[in-house]
Structure 1
C-alpha cells in the first residue's frame, strides 16, 4: 500500500474548448463521440496528474447525454479523482456548455472513468491514497463505492443463459423481433 496521500483538490483539472462546425453530427449538434474523446483526454490528464504516472482507461461508466451542445458554445469539462484503489482511480467528469453570448450554462453530461496507473514497463503501479477534505468529496467517494458494489453484484449474477432453448426463442417474440433460423 502506498504511504503517500494526496487531496482530491490536487487532482482538479478543467479544460474549455469552443465548439466548431467541424465537430457536428448530421443533425448539426456537437457529435457525442467528440465529447467522449475530450472526456477521455481529461480523465487521462487528471489521473496522470494525481498518480504521477502514465494512465490508461479501464472502463467508462454510464454517459447520459442530458442536453445537446450547440456550435459556438464553450464547453468546459471538470474532472477530479473521486476514488482510489491500489492502482486504479475513478475520475468524475462534469461537462457543461456555455452560450458565450448570454452566459447561460447548462449541464450536458457527467460520467465516471476508471483509470489505471502504469509504470515505465507497462505494469500496474500503486497510486497515492486519497485525502477527503469536505462532505462533497465524501459523498462522491461513497457513490464510487456503490458503483463498484453494483458492478460486483452484476458479475455475481451472470448466468449461463441458454439462448438456443425453445423457451428462450419463444420468449424473445415479445421484444418486437421475429426469429427466422
Structure 2
C-alpha cells in the first residue's frame, strides 16, 4: 500500500526571508510544491507534474529560525490526478508548539516515462477527517474548473 502522507520538518533559514525578516510567500509555495510532489510520487509510484494550487492563503508570517512543518496528505484521487491537502505550520523549535500558517489543495497528475498521464491508485477516505478533506478537495477542484471556464470565456 503506498503512503498517503509526507511530513517535512526544517528550520526557516536567513536565505528564505525578505527584508522584514519574514519568509517570502514564494518560498512557502516552493515548500508546498515539494511536499506535494513527494506525496504524489509516493502515492502513485510515478513522476508527477503540478497542475494547480487552490485555496492558498497566508494566515501568519513564518520567521527566520522558526521550525516549519509542511504536511501533505492525499485527499482525493481521480483516474490520473491526485488532490493533496497541504498544511504548513511553524513555531518555536524549543517548545515545538506549532500554529498553522497556510493550507491549500495542490493537484498533480502522474506521468509515465513517455510523458503521458498514467492511472493512480484509488484513495478511499476512511476516517471522518479523511472524508472532510476529500469533500474540501472535491469542492476546490470544482471551483478551479469553474474559474478556468470563466477565464476562457472572459479572455479573448
TM-score over 0.5 (shorter chain): yes
RMSD, matched Cα: 1.8
Aligned partner (choices 69, 77, 81) of residue 76 of structure 1: 69
Matched, 1:92 2:80: no
Aligned length in residues: 155
> Quick check: 1:114 aligned with 2:102?
no
Of the candidates 105, 122, 128, which is equivalent to residue 129 of structure 1? 122
The 5 A counterparts of 1:12-51 are 12-51=5-44
Gaps of 5+ in 2: none
- Greater C-alpha Rg: 1
2 CA distance for matches of 1:156 and 1:114?
17
Secondary structure of the equivalent of 2:38?
helix
- 1:46-84 Cα deviation digits (max 9, x unpaired): 000000000010111132110100111000111111010
CA distance in 2, matches of 1:147, 1:124: 21
Taking the aligned partners of 2:36 and 2:96, their CA distance within structure 1 comes to 26
- Taking the aligned partners of 1:84 and 1:125, their CA distance within structure 2 comes to 12
Q: After TM superposition, where is structure 1 displaced by more than 2 Å over at least 4 residues in a row? A: 101-104, 148-162
Q: Which runs of 5 or more structure 1 residues have no equivalent in the other structure? A: 1-5, 163-181
In structure 2, distance between residues paired with 1:78 and 1:63: 14
Residues 132-175 of structure 1, C-alpha deviation per residue, up to 9 Å, x if partnerless? Answer: 2211111111112222222333455554479xxxxxxxxxxxxx
> 1:57 aligned to 2:62?
no
How does the TM-score come out when normalised to structure 2? 0.90
Structure 2: distance between partners of 1:41 and 1:134: 26
The Cα shift of 1:112 comes to 0.9
